[in-house]
A and B are shown apart, each in its own frame.
Chain A
Amino acid sequence: MWWVLVLTMTCLGITVDASAQLGALVSPGRLSRPHAALEGVSNCLSCHAAGRQVSAAKCLDCHKPVAQRIAQKTGVHRNVTTDCVTCHVEHAGVDGELRPFDQRRFNHAIETRFPLTGVHAGVTCASCHKTRSFLIAATTCVSCHADPHVPTLGVKCETCHTTTAKFNTAQARFDHNTTEFKLAGAHAKVACASCHVNKVFSGVKFAACSDCHKDPHPKPMGAACASCHTATTWKTSKVDHSRTTFPLVGKHVQVECVKCHAKPPLDVTVRADTCAACHADPHKGTFKQDCAACHTQSSFEKGTFDHATTRFPLVDKHGGLACAACHKATSAAGVQEFRGLSITCASCHADVHRGELGVTCEQCHTARTFEVKSYTHAKPRPFFAGEHASLACEKCHVPPLTPMRATTTDPVLRVGFTTTSTTCVSCHRDVHLGQVGDRCENCHAIDAPKFALVGFSHDQTMFPLTGKHAPLMCEACHKAETRDFPAGHGTATRLTGVGTECVACHTDPHAGQLGVTCQSCHTVQTFAVPRYTHRNQQALRTFFGGKHAALACSACHKAATVKGSPTPVASYRTSTTCVSCHNDVHRGALGPNCASCHRL
């Protein structure tokens, strides 16, 4: 029966010495194309280990880059813990897939740390991974891209190129200022290829303009282009006039070239020796010196003329004036006259004082301002001190004419400074309406605040103030009255004619019972009567003795209706009979002579 086996084997074409064929016999399937070299029975143990199926160690013996990444915990296999065969199935035929993964879902940024951005995002895997191994592709640009630069600019492509922009729009990223030729002005706007012809990016000559630009002048101007042209624009010829014999300053800067230069503009011949070469002389030759002695190139009007060299140096407000403000006159030839002008103020200014103060205006006024901020009277007297010192001029110097202006520009007309009186009433109104005459200084002082009465004493009057009268205010006695005063009818505090008797000020509380000689009982010290000795005390010695001596006045002088007083007042017409004060308890039975029985 074994011949059948041998026959079958032979029919199947088995040749034991051909290891590949024998391998094919024991192999569970053809190996995939990448492992094709491992076909054959002698290679089984390249991957398989006795009793261990396929161990990761065997795989990683060959796949060293993967082993390295697993050890470093990077890349796709960074977290792998299982055997390789868990994911990679072999013996599935020549076309067997060894790396099953969805290339469209592969997260290149996370798995490889090389994010596919910009134009990289759309390319197929094979565009970069040209070999079967995904690990071979490097992250450097040159590993995929050919270097078009001649000669090469090195491998730091990212200096100029990005993945987000097309390759030939590199200038958006490249900072040309890092090179020796910094791009300024119009150079910054031109395309790279304008200068870098044929993508030659290094070794390009740039020292001379003519390395890139052609000389457009009909007559060659040489290599010093920058003396006329700038990098900002070629068409605007900004000639550096400062390098010529006539540097342009001031208003000359704004003047168009053709104003001075005849065409062609590049064929320049300047006659800049005198101003008159270009400018007309408005002085018609009256000044022989150079124009620059008075004028500058910045302004014809505001020249450099030093007025201090004249008899009239311009200071303060005069300094800011235009020449024509003073030099108004023109000659017969129509030329502005600068000579022969008077230096007196009146030659320019109108005299608001109408000659009253003379022509020495500077005694009061300065060139800084027309206003007279402070003036010290020529003759210092007490009159100008005190309350008068701080007064404005016009407080005293009231012009007899109404201040007026001819025009809005004219100063206010002021006259009458010399005719001002120093008497008080020339300025002050007599509030006393002539009661005390015009010798105000008898009572008032200029140097006292508000002209206080420092010179007045009531002792000089007929009624010196003593006792309780001393602290009284004037108006306690001197009331304002409206009546005829020496100076006329009006209202004023009455100072004269005030009575010195008590009733002139005080009301008589006794309703005239005791007459007007109040001082016989009262004093200026107090109105109260502390002790009174009856005039008839000697005659009525008995009556005012005893118990009567200690009584208060009111015990006997009781209130009663008195003629001339609407209300009851203490009556001083008191009887000395006992019954006028005491009740007769005997009801008249014993007669009026109480002393016959009673004793004081």
Chain B
Amino acid sequence: MSLASNSVAVPAGSVARAVREEPWLTTRALTNVLVLAGVFTVILCVVLLFGLGGWEYYGAPLATRGYLPAHRLLRPSGPIGLALGIAGVVAMLSTLPYVVRKHWKRLAKFGSTRNWLETHIFFGIVGPILVTFHTSFKFNGLISAGYWLMMTVWASGFVGRYLYVRIPKTIRGTELSRAELEGRLEELRARLDAAPLPVATQRELDAFDAATTGRDGRAPGALDLFLGEFRIRARLWLLRRQMLEAGVDLSTVHNLVSLSAERAGIARRLAHLQRTRRLFAVWHVFHQPLVFAMFAIVAIHVGIALYFGYARFAP
């Protein structure tokens, strides 16, 4: 390590390679599917609320909304409402193959776990939204219980995804051992140390490393599993600014921050690994049975609708 006055040239290629060769999922993993589901949801909302008069219809009092023009299409048994309900059920059913694959090892050879999971997440997000519009925001009886169960599962899905991405895995989703992680962590440390940086900057990096990996002797609590992310992001932002002020060029700063973030992330995962695995097991117990209860209620609901002749696309 050597001192540099203002501008220090760091061999950018080495840092970038370190990121590119990263074999593990990062905290940003499975983000694309969230964006995709979000876009789908926004389009659905715009079409229903502003294209088909849903804004007025859903906002009208229950006692009189039956006489609005949009009632013909958007009521649960109307052409659009019924299509939304069927699409919602199909979407919810589309989340199940992932569960089957997890339990039935023969299917493991079809596609990566990651793709199956992304499919599961996409349908798990849009399904309840479709069903929500199917209900026309009118929640009554047993099927409302099913609805709220579904929404609970929907919310828990986001928690599950949060926990899932914090258990380090290979790019195909295979879980990594603690030893592999620690080796990876040391490798990252060595690469950061090898970078030719000003002394002050190097100190900042060391201080950040110490604070985020528990090397300062303080063991992170259970709450840190969820809130620690924000603290790290705040510190990374500070680190980045300090390095820019110290005269380090932008691309170097970018690479250094990425490496530091990766290092801090792995360090945190290692620190929380045991706790995360334990919470994730509990989450499974919560996430799955509610889904089955929901499907049972949906089956009754669909049965009644079929019996009384409401499963018809008649306006």
Contacts and interface: CB of A to CB of B under 8 A. Distances in A.
B300 A26 contact: yes
Nearest to B306: A51
B308 A53 contact: yes
Given A51-B309, A53-B309, A96-B63, A4 B71 contact: no
A89 interface: yes
B271 to A, nearest CB: 32
B289 A28 contact: no
Dominant SS among interface residues on chain B: helix
Most chain A CB inside 10 Å of its own CB: which residue of B66, B67, B77: B66
Interface string B124-165: 000000000000001011110100010000000000000000
Dominant SS among interface residues on chain A: loop
A49 B309 CA distance: 8
A26 B66 contact: no
Nearest to B295: A5
Nearest to B139: A29
B293 A28 contact: no
B66 A96 contact: yes
Contact of A93 (B62, B71, B300, B310): B62
A89 B149 CA distance: 28
A41 B289 CA distance: 28
Contacts of B293: 4-5, 8
Contact of A100 (B64, B138, B141): B64
A61 B88 CA distance: 37
Nearest to B135: A28
B200 interface: no
A14 interface: yes
B66 A8 contact: no
Nearest to A32: B63
Interface in B217-235: none
B76 interface: yes
A12 interface: yes
A3 B289 CA distance: 9
B290 interface: yes
Nearest to B140: A29
Given A29-B62, A95-B63, A100-B64, A2 B142 contact: no
A279 interface: no
Most chain A CB inside 10 Å of its own CB: which residue of B289, B290, B300, B308: B308
A3 B307 CA distance: 28
Contacts of B143: 26, 28
A271 B207 CA distance: 153
Contacts of A341: none
Given A27-B141, A50-B307, A50-B308, A4 B63 contact: no
Interface in B31-86: 62-67, 71, 76-77
A97 interface: yes
Contacts of B7: none
Contacts of B310: 53
B298 to A, nearest CB: 12
A317 interface: no
Given A25-B141, A30-B140, A92 B63 contact: yes
Nearest to A22: B142
Of the four ranges (under 10, 10 to 19, 20 to 34, 35 or more), the interface on chain A belongs to 20 to 34
A2 B289 CA distance: 7
A5 B63 contact: no
A509 B303 CA distance: 160
A97 B149 contact: no
B67 A89 contact: yes
Nearest to B146: A8
A152 to B, nearest CB: 43
B66 A29 contact: no
Nearest to B312: A53
A24 B289 CA distance: 24
Of the four ranges (under 10, 10 to 19, 20 to 34, 35 or more), the interface on chain B belongs to 20 to 34
A3 B65 CA distance: 39
B108 interface: no
Interface in A2-21: 2-5, 8-9, 12, 14
Nearest to B296: A5
Contacts of B313: none
Contacts of A97: 63-64, 66-67
Most chain A CB inside 10 Å of its own CB: which residue of B65, B289, B296: B289
A92 B296 contact: no
Given A50-B308, A97-B64, A27 B140 contact: yes
B63 A14 contact: no
A89 B138 contact: no
Contacts of B296: 5
A100 to B, nearest CB: 4
B66 A92 contact: yes
A1 B62 contact: no
A3 B62 CA distance: 35
Interface in A47-68: 48-53
B138 A26 contact: no
A100 B67 contact: yes
B237 interface: no
A4 B290 contact: yes
B63 A28 contact: no
Contacts of A3: 289
A9 B66 CA distance: 30
Contacts of B140: 24, 27-30, 91
Interface of B: 62-67, 71, 76-77, 138, 140-143, 145, 149, 288-290, 292-293, 296, 300-301, 304, 307-310
Given A1-B292, A28-B76, A96-B63, 16 more contacts: A4-B289, A4-B293, A8-B145, A12-B142, A14-B142, A25-B145, A26-B300, A27-B140, A28-B143, A29-B138, A44-B308, A48-B308, A49-B308, A95-B63, A97-B66, A100-B66
15 contacts: A1-B288, A1-B289, A4-B293, A5-B289, A5-B293, A8-B293, A26-B141, A26-B143, A28-B143, A29-B141, A53-B309, A53-B310, A92-B66, A96-B63, A96-B66
